[in-house]
Structure 1
Amino acid sequence: MDRWEKFLIDVSNKVVEGEKLSREEALKILRTPDEYIALLVYCAQKVKSKFHEANKIELCSIINAKSGACSEDCSFCAQSKFYKTPINVYPLVPEEEIVEGAYRAVEFGANRYCVVLSGKSATQEEVERIKQSVERIKQVEKLPINVCVSAGTLDEESLKKLKEAGVKRVNHNLEASKSFFPKIVSTHSWEERYETIKRIKALGLSTCCGGIFGMGESDEDRVDLALTYQELEVDSIPLNFLMPIEGTPLEKAPGVSPLEALRIIAMFRLTNPKAELRLCGGREQTLRDFYGMAVLMANAMMVGGYLTRAGRDIKKDYQLLKDLKLEKLQVVFE
C-alpha cells in the first residue's frame, strides 16, 4: 500500500470511527492525485454508508417565487439589480402558483420543496403570504412533502411564523469562506449570514446551508467553509458549482473541472459525515460523465431546474438511480 492509499483509507476509517479530520487532512483530500480519485470516491461512499442509508437518494425541488431586482451585489447572481442579465423579474408569485409548484414537486417524487425569494430579506408581508401558502400546502391540500423556505436574513419573529405554518427547514447559504466572501459580496457581511444560521438553529429549525465553487476561491477557502459547517452542525449542505452568467462579474470565472468537483464533494462528505450532501446548481455542466460517481457520495439532488437556469431532464436522473441501484427516499416528515 502506497502513501496515498494509506492516507485515504486512514482518514475514512478515522471518520467512520467518529473522529474529526484536521484542517491539514481536509486540504490534503483536495490535493488527491487524479489516479486516486476512484479510491477517494470509494472512501467517501464508505463514510456515507456509515451515517446514512447507503441505497437511498433524496430528491428536492424549488420554486423561484420572487425573481430579480435584488438589492445585493453577489457577483455570482443573475438576480442582482446591479447587473444586466437575461432573467425574468417579478414580485412574489400568488399563493396558487406556490401550491402548484408543490404539486409538481410531488409528481417528481421529491421529499422536499423549497420556496425561494430573491432579496436580502423577505418583508413582513411576504413572510405572511409564504406562511399562508405553506399552511395551505400542509393543512388544506395535505400534500406529502416537506416545505422549506429560503428568504434571506430573517428575524426571530419571521422564523417563528414560518415554523408555526409547518416549515421545518430554512435554507441560508454562506456561499464561501469568511475570508473569500468580501471578494464576491459587498452589500452585506458573512457574519450577518452566520448569525442568521445560528438564529435558525436556536429556534429548533433544521438548517440547509451550502456553497458555490468555481468563483476563484482557494482550496483553503473550500476547507474553511466545510469546517464552518462542521462547527455549526448544519443538517444539509447543498453543493453548487458556478454556472457563469453573462452580465455578472463572474461571467468569466474559472469554474471547476469534474475531478476537482469530485474532490470537493468527497472533502465535504469526510468533514461533515452526518450532514446531507445535496448536488445542486451546476451539477450537470461541471460533473458531466462523472456525475454518477458524485451521486455515490451524496444524499440528495435537486430536480426540476434551478433559480434562473433549467436543470437536467428528470428522466435521466431516474435512469441514473436505476443504473446505480439507488432508491428514491420516500417522503419522511420531520
Structure 2
Amino acid sequence: MTRLALAGETIPADAAMRILTDPNLELLPLMHAAYQVRARYFGRYVRVQILNNVQNGYCPEDCNYCAQAAGSEAKITKFHLKPDEEILVGAKKTWEAGAFRYCIVLSGRGPTENRVDHMAGLVRQIKAQWPVEVCLSAGFIDEKMAKTLKEAGLDRYNHNLNTAENHYGAICTSHGYADRLHTLENARKVGLEVCSGIIIGMGETPAEVLEVAMTLRRLQARSIPVNFYVHIEGARLGVINALTPQYCLRVLALFRLTNPDAEIRAAGGRESNLRSLETLALYPANAVFSEGYLNTGGDTTKKTVSLIEDAGFVVERIEEKDDRC
C-alpha cells in the first residue's frame, strides 16, 4: 500500500478495507506505512490551526449530530456574528501563538452576498496585518461568492462532507449531499483550496468511511479534517459507534494512504477519542487544532505544541512552508 500511495496510484478497495477491518493488520506497522507517505510530502512538520467560532447556533438545518441545529436541545451559548475587532484579534492571537492557519467558522445554511462581502473585507484586513493562512467555513456558497472570497485573499474554503452519500439521509434531511458537493466544486473552480472532511462515529460502516476518502481524492481536497464524534447532551444524535483509539488511528492511516499529498488533520474529538494514543496520530496526520472546537473544548496551544515536540515533530510556521515551496 505504501508503494502505491507514494507512486500516486489508487489503493485497491479490498486492501484499503483491511486497514479498517483486519485485526491481523497490526497497528504500529500500519502507522509506519502511513508515516512513510506523510514524510514524503510534509516531513516531520505539523501545522497547528486555531478555530474561531464567530457565529454560534440559530441554524435552520437539521443535522442531527450538531448542537447548533434546528431541533437540538443542547445547552450552548448562541450568538450572532462577533464584532469585527474580536475576529481580527483572533487572527492576531493565532499568529502570536505560532499557528499556521486561522479558521473562521459561521453557523447557518449559508451566507448572503452582503455577508460574503463583509467576510471578504475581514480577510483583506487579516492578510494585510498577519502572515497566516485563512480558511473560512460559512455553509453553502455559489461560484460568485467563492470568487469574491478568493479575490480578497482567502486561502481555503471548508465544507465538510461529514459522511458517505448513502448514509447522508440518516444524519440530515434539510439539504442533500449534492448541495455539499456543489459548494466544494464552486470553491475549486475559482482556485480556492478545498477543505473537506468526515465525522467518524455517526453510524457509518467502514465501507462508507472508505467511500468518503475516495470521494475527497476525486475532489482533490487539499485538506481533510478527520473528526471523531463527540456527543453533546441535547443534540439529537446519540452515541452510535463506540470509537476506540486504535480504530481512530486506522481511519487516519486510511485517509493518508488514499490521499497521500493532502493535509490530513486530526480534528474534533482527537483528545477524547485518541486518549493515550494521541501522539501516534502525528504519524499519519500532519495537522491538528488547538484551543478547542465549535462547542467542545480542546487542548491549549501550549499543550499541543508540547505533544508535537515531545514526539520529535516540528511545529510548522507559514514562512517555513514558503521556504520549502
Tell me if structure 1 keeps the 8 A contact 2:143–2:189.
no
SS at match of 2:241: coil
Deviation of residue 34 (structure 1)? 6.3
SS at match of 2:71: coil
Asked whether 1:202 is paired with 2:192, we answer no
Unmatched 5+ residue regions in structure 1? 1-10
Deviation of residue 47 (structure 1)? 1.2
* TM-score, length of structure 1 as denominator length: 0.93
Tell me if structure 1 keeps the 8 A contact 2:71–2:236.
no
Deviation of residue 294 (structure 1)? 0.8
The equivalent residue for 1:148 is 135
Tell me if structure 1 keeps the 8 A contact 2:309–2:315.
no
Q: Deviations over 1:122-173 (max 9, x none)?
A: 122221221121111122xx11211111011101221111112110210011
Asked whether 1:16 is paired with 2:6, we answer yes
Tell me if structure 2 keeps the 8 A contact 1:29–1:263.
yes
Asked whether 1:33 is paired with 2:23, we answer yes
Tell me if structure 2 keeps the 8 A contact 1:242–1:255.
no
The equivalent residue for 2:311 is 324
Question: 1:255 and 1:132, CA in 2 relative to 1: closer, same or farther beyond 3 A?
Answer: farther
SS at match of 1:234: coil
* TM-score, length of structure 2 as denominator length: 0.95
Question: 1:241 and 1:34, CA in 2 relative to 1: closer, same or farther beyond 3 A?
Answer: farther
Asked whether 1:103 is paired with 2:95, we answer no
User: How big is the alpha-carbon RMSD for the aligned residues of Structure 1 and Structure 2?
Assistant: 1.4
CA distance in 1, matches of 2:120, 2:25: 50
The equivalent residue for 1:65 is 54
The equivalent residue for 2:114 is 125
The one-letter code matched in structure 1 to 2:82 is: V
SS at match of 2:288: strand
Give the count of matched residue pairs: 321
SS at match of 2:130: coil
CA distance in 2, matches of 1:124, 1:98: 19
CA distance in 1, matches of 2:154, 2:306: 31
CA distance in 2, matches of 1:136, 1:317: 28
Runs of 4+ in 1 over 3 A off after TM superposition: none
Unmatched 5+ residue regions in structure 2? none
Deviation of residue 228 (structure 1)? 0.3
CA distance in 2, matches of 1:88, 1:304: 17
SS at match of 1:57: strand
Q: Deviations over 1:153-211 (max 9, x none)?
A: 10122111111211021001100001111100000000110111111111111010001
CA distance in 2, matches of 1:235, 1:247: 33
Q: Deviations over 1:206-245 (max 9, x none)?
A: 0100010011110011000001011111100000000011
CA distance in 1, matches of 2:288, 2:259: 17
SS at match of 2:89: helix
